[in-house]
Amino acid sequence: MQSDHPPHKPAWFVTGTDTEIGKTFVACALLHTLRRAGLSAVAMKPIAAGFDDSGRNDDVERLLAASSLQPPRELVNPYGFKAAIAPHIAAAEEGRHVELTQIVAAFAQLQTLADAVLVEGVGGFCVPLGRTHDTADLAAALKLPVIMVVGMRLGCINHALLTQQAILARGLPLAGWVANRIDPAMLRCSENIAALQERLTAPLLGVVEHGTTAENAALGLRLPGQAG
């Protein structure tokens, strides 16, 4: 389940402190950031749950729209489940099994098509994918540095620190984090961001304001290695 991705081609695993905290939105913004840097960029959503009657998933469609090219959908989304529920439950209900080797192989093919690849996880970092493996196992199989999206709301500091702990426990580098202001009414948001900057081992790549577009959010984001 090991990935032999070319070291000269940037790639990251995008995870979050919870579900519904803006991973897909931030991944789209990062795609625009990569494209502004002159790189062709594509995103992968290995596991997605929640498809409409036409076989479309909102997250997959948004990532495809923000990508530089339109690769085969089976590479972008190897596993799609109809019901919008936890992926291990959806897989069990459909009698399917998520194979990490298939995802790693699809990722390797995507790397031959673009300069940079973003892989967006599902839910939080430790969401189960089956009886024996979870999203953290997928990130480890891909051997990718991780970008963590922190949904700025009450409780985010604890969630971010626990997610960082889980990432580092898998031997993966935390390349950076993005503060996504999902709750516009959050009190003392800047103070919370400052507290996270003091406690997280990785640089803040940018703050995404509530209600902005992915294209505008990209203007305020830095890529890992560029953050000061």
Both tokens assigned to 41: 């960029």
Which are the catalytic amino acids? 45
The residue count of the chain comes to 228
Amino acid symbol at 62: R
Half-sphere CA count of 88, side-chain side, radius 13 A: 11
Q: 196: Cβ–Cβ under 8 A, 6 or more apart, which residues?
A: 150, 156, 157, 160, 177, 179, 204
